[in-house]
Amino acid sequence: MKTIIRATDVVTRFGENLVHDRVSLSVREGEIYGLLGGSGSGKSTLLREMIMLQMPQSGKIEVLGYDLHTLEREQAAWLRRQWGVLFQAGALYSSLTVAENVGITLKEYTKLSPVVIEEIVRMKINMVGLPQHAAELYPAQLSGGMVKRASLARALAMEPRLLFLDEPTSGLDPIGAEAFDKLIMALREMLNLTVVMVTHDLDSIWTIVDRLAVLGEKKVIAEGNLQQVMEEPHPIIQKFFFGERGRLRSRNGK
pLDDT of residue 252: 53
Ranges of residues in the chain whose predicted pLDDT is under 70: 243-254
pLDDT of residue 194: 97
Query: 3-class secondary structure for the chain?
Result: CCEEEEEEEEEEEECCEEEEEEEEEEEECCCEEEEEECCCCCHHHHHHHHCCCCCCCEEEEEECCEECCCCCHHHHHHHHCCEEEECCCCCCCCCCCHHHHHHHHHHHHCCCCHHHHHHHHHHHHHHCCCCHHHHHCCHHHCCHHHHHHHHHHHHCCCCCCEEEEECCCCCCCHHHHHHHHHHHHHHHHHHCCEEEEECCCHHHHHHCCCEEEEEECCEEEEEECHHHHHCCCCHHHHHHHHCHHHHHHHHHHC
Residues contacting residue 205 through CB under 8 Å, at least 6 positions apart: 34, 36, 199, 212, 226
pLDDT of residue 91: 86
pLDDT of residue 243: 65
Nearest one of 14, 71, 79, 16 to 42, comparing CA atoms: 14
Q: Is the pTM of this model over 0.85?
A: yes
Q: Which domains does the chain have, with CATH numbers?
A: 1-82+161-171+180-220 (3.40.50.300), 91-159 (no CATH)
Nearest one of 145, 148, 122 to 133, comparing CA atoms: 122
CA 23 to chain centre: 18
pLDDT of residue 244: 59
pLDDT of residue 39: 82
Residues contacting residue 155 through CB under 8 Å, at least 6 positions apart: 84, 85, 86, 163
pLDDT of residue 241: 85
